[in-house]
Chains A and B, each alone.
Chain A
């Protein structure tokens, strides 16, 4: 009897811990929505900041984050998916493959600010891109690679081996099999991974601090060699660097960033569950 009492107490304790884990996120999201909504209006979303950023909107930061995310996608998706295909379809179990996996694990562990240093050293200084959308997007791309690689590899692995065997038995080459059967089937999973990777990139501040971000730049960027404002950096600036900042604008900015990021999260979840239901294997 007491064994079962122990179990009941134990399970209750675990449940309390789990609640303690998810409760803060509800409070945080709730607070940001409630406090941030009053700041949201057309002017806030479509104009540049004014009066030392204490008034006006955040349009340049929204645009900047959009372009940084697009740039990140352009660089990281082809490389990430190619590496995932290599690991899933071509790599043999040898030391070279193990080195690639070790490299990816370590890429995923490198602190974001160290990516910032690297981007500063390579893209901004050595390649003379300057602090720019290009340098920032490249830096974010490399940081995003591990996420894209690992989720894409998982998606490729989940395609049944029998499809590959059948395709090859019908006279398909390895590449035709990948291109015509494996990739289309893995696509929803890859897409999910890409979105989750880009979500992370969109919310990052440290990698763009010295590679792309502008403190205050009311004009929209004209080319990929321009600096840009970005939502996460803007939130950092207005919550730490600007005295007497109206809290409404801070919360409003946090809300827009949160919506940006959580929409991507939701999109990934929807794609995943939609295709999981639709697929026949």
Chain B
């Protein structure tokens, strides 16, 4: 018994293939991102040869007459997203602070699932409610000719970005070590002072990530925006543009792709818009992820 060799090797086929499959699946995630970008390029790049650059950079989007100016759409997205960010960032961060730092346990147990429910509401449902309930309110409140405005879109988008901002920011606040707070409290700071001078400061890179992810979500949102912004492709140059209809890049794709002939110039330009969206969200998420990495690295250093 004791002299038996240690060198008997036994390989199970199931194990062999399962491990190979799992290792290969790591590539799949990367492959999908590459594949998505490739297919956008494949269908979108022809637009550059079919439409002059000056046309693409013009201020008029009117595809039936071959006006493919992307500027109103890009600015429409910027306007609505910026509006949403201005509303959602302070609201989301403050709500996260309340949930993570102030609310008693029982209240947190109620608030957190409710915020999860907000994240789960389909965007068409919010768009639908935005159309029939929110837009009349906006029209009356601002005495505008229509309630389907960039502002209405910004409100709905802000609400859709909130769950992301709140939950990520709350995680960041939660991750701040208990001892930081205790130290500040022991030095005579009130909880309020501790929150702002210690906890929020320590969690700031995570909060930044939360904000970036929330904005990323807002830029990419499609259905609700299409339903409540009125979809007029116009340059939002004056101050009152916020209370006029606007049109985003996402809504343009969603509204027009169904009606264009496959392979037409219009078809290719819509994919071009997809490339723009892909690149923008890639950058936003990349920046957000750098903040995540930095945060984990720092906490890893603290713990080791």
Contact = CB atoms under 8 A, between A and B. Distances in A.
Given A31-B133, A87-B26, A18 B118 contact: no
B271 A113 contact: no
Given A14-B94, A103-B29, A117-B271, 16 more contacts: A4-B190, A26-B114, A28-B126, A82-B25, A104-B29, A107-B33, A108-B285, A110-B278, A116-B254, A117-B257, A117-B274, A173-B12, A175-B15, A176-B15, A239-B132, A265-B116
B76 interface: no
Contacts of A134: none
Interface stretch (A37-45, A49-57, A250-258): A250-258
Contacts of A136: none
Nearest to A173: B15
Interface stretch (B39-47, B51-59, B66-74, B176-184): B39-47
Contacts of A100: 26, 29-30
A114 interface: yes
A125 interface: yes
B202 interface: no
Interface string A243-281: 000010010001001100110110001000000000000
Given A142-B32, A206-B223, A17 B253 contact: no
20 contacts: A10-B192, A15-B102, A18-B95, A18-B99, A20-B91, A21-B166, A24-B159, A83-B29, A109-B281, A111-B278, A112-B222, A114-B40, A114-B220, A116-B253, A125-B262, A175-B14, A202-B122, A206-B254, A232-B122, A236-B127
Given A6-B192, A111-B281, A21 B95 contact: yes
Interface in B118-140: 118, 120-129, 131-133
A128 interface: no
A22 interface: yes
A203 B39 contact: no
Size bin of chain B's contact surface: 35 or more
Contact of B115 (A21, A101, A142, A203): A21
A257 B23 contact: no
A185 interface: no
A239 B95 CA distance: 32
A203 B258 contact: no
A20 to B, nearest CB: 7
Contacts of B253: 113-114, 116-117
B131 A239 contact: yes
A118 B15 contact: no
A258 B117 CA distance: 10
A109 B216 contact: yes
A137 to B, nearest CB: 15
Contacts of B132: 239, 247, 250
A70 interface: no
Contacts of B117: 25, 29, 262, 265
Nearest to A105: B289
B35 to A, nearest CB: 7
Contact of B40 (A107, A118, A257): A118
Contacts of A102: 286, 289
Query: Top 4 closest A-B pairs, CB basis?
Result: A111-B220, A203-B122, A7-B192, A109-B285
Contacts of B50: none
Given A11-B192, A262-B117, A236 B124 contact: yes
A116 B284 contact: no
Interface string A210-251: 100000000000000000000011011001100000010010
A77 to B, nearest CB: 12
B40 A250 contact: no
B22 interface: yes
Contacts of A269: 113, 116
A132 interface: no
A32 interface: yes
Contacts of B35: 118, 122
Contacts of A89: 22
A189 B125 CA distance: 28
Contact of A254 (B32, B111, B125, B274): B125
B62 interface: no
A258 B33 CA distance: 31
Question: In this complex, which of A91, A112, A205 has the most chain B Cβ atoms within 10 angstroms of its Cβ?
Answer: A205
B250 interface: yes
A170 interface: no
